[in-house]
Structure 1
Amino acid sequence: MAIAPPPRPAPPLRRRAFHGTLVHALSLTDTEYLHDALLGVDEAGVIAFVDKGVSSDKVEERLDERGWAQAQVVRLAKGELIDTHVHGPQFVNLSYGQEFELLDWLDQVTFPAEAKFKDVAYARRTYEDVVDRLINSGTTTACLYGTLHHQSSKILAAVCHRRGQRAFVGKCNMDRNSPPSYSESSTERSLANTEDYVAFVREHCNSPCPPSSAITSSKRSSAPTSLVQPILTPRFAISCTDECLQGLGDMMDRDEHLPLQTHLAENPSEVEFAMSLYPGVASYTAAYDRFRLLRHNTVLAHCVHLSDDELDLIKARNSGISICADSNFNLRSGTARVTDMLDKGIKVGLGTDVSGGLSLGILSAIRATSTASKTICFHKRDSPSSSPLPAPSPDDSAVGPDGVSRPAGFFAQKHLSLSALFYLATLGGAQVANVDERVGNFLVGKEFDALLVQTAPSSSMANGSSAASGGAAGEDVFEDELRAALEGGEVKQRGEAFNPALLTSEDEAIERVFEKFLFSGDDRNLGSVFVRGRVIGGARPLSA
């Protein structure tokens, strides 16, 4: 069957310069707030320069000095900021079924829903909506599971490609221990369809990064730069035969740039089932390693029930872990040892895991991960058998996934900080997806994947009072305000970015506003969503 040629490449971008406050992650303990910053994005969607401390009246002069006089200037008003936003796996099912634990949830909720995607018309309608919601909830990069249907999975990749979302999209492999109505007919067919799917994505969803003078030859990598890339997706060891996993390992041997995503140790029943299939293997993690599936570009979702030996093996293979705290709470799976993972230097990012997780968007993952880390602290504090952790010793250090050396056990001492959570949601996610050389923060030479965040001040939180608080004038003001409270009065119009849960005032420091956004913001506060410098969505997207 002939396939229509892919759409023509998008026209070159117009140069843009953003002036205002920028926020990005430098490390697990360092969030940088750039005030009066001037950031230039070139025609390739790559960050060409970041100048700090440029006053508003000097913007045009600085751009002229750089030869950027014709660039479009986007001025970020007080209460607006940009942050990068990358995360791990997303599922495309609807969010319900919370009364089940994992294996029953798969049988009763997920497998019947996924079986519907045999209908390619249904798949396209659904995936159009899913990708639109992902983008507008702030997802600039997603590791997406499709279904076992290679045709429907092609449609998912094609929708991501057309919309300009950065995505790793996989066709599931499921050739055993699956319902008769939702299982692949044979291992040979599973592997053949996977190879056909990979070839399709690389040919028809190809959008490599255009040349940019901001990327020096020394920084250029041989890895593919297309926004949409295929990713091998064995659902988990339970649903894949040894021959299937062996075949996927062979594909990775032949192509070092072919990534893989799967599930690992999400639920105790799952772990028990998996180990019954591999009685001679030391652990669930070792079963994957037996087939050479643990690599630098492997994404392991959940990892709730892992031993220290398994974490050490993941670290040795340089694989990444996607923490899906909301899903782990919802399906009663447990809480992943994220601080231990960081102390071991393992790459960690955040995932929403819809529909195990109940919310789209990385903001929900930040909040759930924060709660999970605090829950672990509670258990350590309240357990009768627990003993206080020894204070970190500077003589016994470890290097974290951000490359920074810290005392051993540094992260295990307390719950995750705001900087650590923000790192996991941005640069940490980029590391797990193996794209941290290209996205994740605002360093020159990286592609501009970002969110334009708008936090309109509440009318009730304006600067100060119109009169002194004491004396006769103060009494007069009180009488006026009391009368207005009783009878009603003029109220300042709410801004377009109004979100009833996010209350900010005009005089609040950006650090305070940023924390409020992470824990109370939503899609109404996301004015524009950028991928590779191009606006692909948002509540009030900037014009091209």
Structure 2
Amino acid sequence: MGNNSKIIKGNFIFTPGFGELKIAAASFIVIEGKRVKGLYRQLPAGYEGSLVTDYQDKLIIPGLVDLHAHAPQFANRGMGLDLELIPWLEQYTFPEEAKYNDVVYAAGVYKKFVRELWQWGTTRAVLFGTIHKAATTRLMALLAQAGLGGYVGKVNMDRNSPAALSETTAQSLADTEAFIQDTIDRYELVKPIVTPRFVPSCTPALMSGIAGLAQKYNLPVQSHLAENTREIAWVRELHPECPHYAGVYHKFGLFGQQPTIMAHCIHNDAAELALMAKNKVYMAHCPYSNTNLASGLAPVRRCIDSGIPVGLGSDIAGGHEVSIAKVMAMAVQVSKLKWLISGRQEPFFTIPEVLYLATKGGGSFFGQVGSFEEGYEFDALVIDDSSLAVAAGNPFTLADRLSRFIYIGNDKNIIARYVAGRKIEEPQF
């Protein structure tokens, strides 16, 4: 056993495939560097006498992945959620994001946000910053300092935006390239991502320009798609030459030409879904936000069945919960409403299915992340659910204990967190 190796024992629960729950009770996982060497019921030859971190009867699941959140909106979480998307952006979100030209203010909020990501077990996150290069660079530094993995985007906005958040096309492109050059090789687990806010806020020249940057620096892309019916009508007015909303991104090279995440995807037509599947564009499903802002019930099952890769997003602050475990529970609840209004034709989600979306599904955007299979980076949460037991001996099955944690557990139940093979402690900032 090498110096860069570790062995952990516990009750491992993960999803090698969508809906496939794998339970390895009282088992050992061997980690070499940052990757899983193997998961064993008994330690193989050569490991006898090795130091084992024994978590006894605790549950161990892959670290949780948030594919879509707006870090600056953490400050206005829980406000204005009696509005629809566009009025909410105008009255709450844009005024808050305008404050991030002040790096000191931004750092104060971002420290609290990153600490809560750690607290609630999010080990990898894909984040929007703001248009402000310095504040967004600070967000990346804090994420890396906390030991978390992620992609962070400097937002692009050069039209249909409030004055305090409007860039010229040239300035937006120059700041974005400077941000990329400054951060692309700075951290191992935190990287930049190209981030047009959404089509209404980006001119054709800007979209073409940032697509060029994504290709030049081989970077992924994130944005929003078909979240709100009024937004879709607006895009149609702005781009009558395109067959649909997805077609606008595709036209400008921002739809799978590089690895791409589109948040929401509630109202896409069949042609858009086919293009997403063909280009392997990820859907970030954000059930809290979709209900809070009256956006709709996303056809997630249909997307998965179409071959579209799907993960979960908190969408802070359209969504009010940082916890991806709570997002999992909400995804099941929303899917049951979708099942009802579909005449019971579109099956609702199961716990193994949403666990997959929250781990391996979203984790695949980062590579081999989100599972305990051989070769995967070891991201994990150790869960002490003894406080949730209702009888001596905790007679529930391991699968039922997982479900109870998802629905009624909290951050206090998470007693250890690992990212890329390294145990990460509470951020000290």
Relative distance call for 1:68 and 1:111 in structure 2 (3 A) is farther
Aligned residue in 2 for 1:264? 225
SS in 1 for 2:341: helix
Aligned mates of 1:445, 1:80 — CA distance in 2: 21
Aligned mates of 2:209, 2:3 — CA distance in 1: 41
Higher relative contact order (CA 8 A, sep 6+): 2
- For the Cα contact (< 8 Å) 2:146–2:426, is it kept in 1? no
Aligned residue in 2 for 1:182? 165
Q: Does 1:80 align with 2:40?
A: no
- For the Cα contact (< 8 Å) 2:13–2:59, is it kept in 1? no
Aligned residue in 2 for 1:419? 352
Aligned mates of 2:207, 2:387 — CA distance in 1: 53
Summarize deviations over 1:183-234 as a string: whole Å, max 9, x none.
11x101100100000111124x322xxxxxxxxxxxxxxxxxxx00100000
Aligned residue in 1 for 2:145? 162
Unaligned runs of 5+ residues in structure 2 are none
What TM-score does the superposition give when structure 2 sets the normalisation length? 0.94
SS in 2 for 1:238: helix
Aligned mates of 2:278, 2:334 — CA distance in 1: 26
- For the Cα contact (< 8 Å) 2:6–2:31, is it kept in 1? yes
Structure 1 vs Structure 2 CA RMSD:
1.8
Summarize deviations over 1:258-301 as a string: whole Å, max 9, x none.
00000111111111111110011110110110001111510000
Matched pairs, number: 421
SS in 2 for 1:24: strand
Q: Does 1:114 align with 2:122?
A: no
SS in 2 for 1:181: helix
What code does the residue aligned with 1:277 have? Answer: L
| CA-CA distance at 1:159 after TM superposition | 0.9
Of residues 331, 335, 352 in structure 1, which corresponds to 2:293? 331
SS in 2 for 1:280: coil
Aligned residue in 2 for 1:237? 199
Identity, in percent, stands at 32
Aligned mates of 1:176, 1:189 — CA distance in 2: 13
Q: Does 1:197 align with 2:179?
A: yes
- For the Cα contact (< 8 Å) 1:266–1:333, is it kept in 2? yes
Q: Does 1:48 align with 2:37?
A: yes
Matched ranges for 1:72-471 at <5 A: 73-92=52-71, 93=73, 94-95=76-77, 96-184=79-167, 186-203=168-185, 205-207=186-188, 227-255=189-217, 257-295=218-256, 297-381=259-343, 389=345, 412=346, 414-431=347-364, 434-436=365-367, 438-457=368-387, 460-463=390-393
What code does the residue aligned with 1:417 have? Answer: T
Relative distance call for 1:41 and 1:68 in structure 2 (3 A) is farther
| CA-CA distance at 1:317 after TM superposition | 1.0
- For the Cα contact (< 8 Å) 1:13–1:45, is it kept in 2? no
Summarize deviations over 1:142-186 as a string: whole Å, max 9, x none.
0000000011110001111111110100000001100012211x1
- For the Cα contact (< 8 Å) 2:120–2:411, is it kept in 1? yes
SS in 1 for 2:316: coil
Of residues 46, 67, 73 in structure 2, which corresponds to 1:66? 46
What TM-score does the superposition give when structure 1 sets the normalisation length? 0.75
Aligned residue in 2 for 1:22? 12
Relative distance call for 1:462 and 1:538 in structure 2 (3 A) is farther
| CA-CA distance at 1:14 after TM superposition | 5.5
SS in 1 for 2:163: coil
Greater fraction of residues in strand = 2
What code does the residue aligned with 2:373 have? Answer: L
Q: Does 1:521 align with 2:422?
A: no
Q: Which runs of 4+ in 1 moved over 3 A?
A: 12-15, 67-71, 457-460
- For the Cα contact (< 8 Å) 1:79–1:510, is it kept in 2? no
Aligned mates of 1:350, 1:13 — CA distance in 2: 36
Aligned mates of 2:112, 2:223 — CA distance in 1: 24
Aligned mates of 2:355, 2:151 — CA distance in 1: 22
Aligned mates of 1:420, 1:509 — CA distance in 2: 18
| CA-CA distance at 1:19 after TM superposition | 1.2
- For the Cα contact (< 8 Å) 2:115–2:426, is it kept in 1? no
Q: Does 1:34 align with 2:14?
A: no
Aligned mates of 1:162, 1:76 — CA distance in 2: 26
Aligned mates of 1:306, 1:112 — CA distance in 2: 29
Higher gyration radius (CA): 1
Out of 294-303 and 83-92, give the one that drifted further: 83-92
Relative distance call for 1:282 and 1:13 in structure 2 (3 A) is farther
Summarize deviations over 1:45-91 as a string: whole Å, max 9, x none.
2212211x23xxxxxxx37x3247443x2212224333332230111
Relative distance call for 1:457 and 1:187 in structure 2 (3 A) is closer
| CA-CA distance at 1:13 after TM superposition | 7.8
- For the Cα contact (< 8 Å) 2:133–2:154, is it kept in 1? yes
Aligned mates of 1:82, 1:316 — CA distance in 2: 31
Unaligned runs of 5+ residues in structure 1 are 1-11, 55-61, 208-226, 382-387, 390-411, 464-505, 540-544
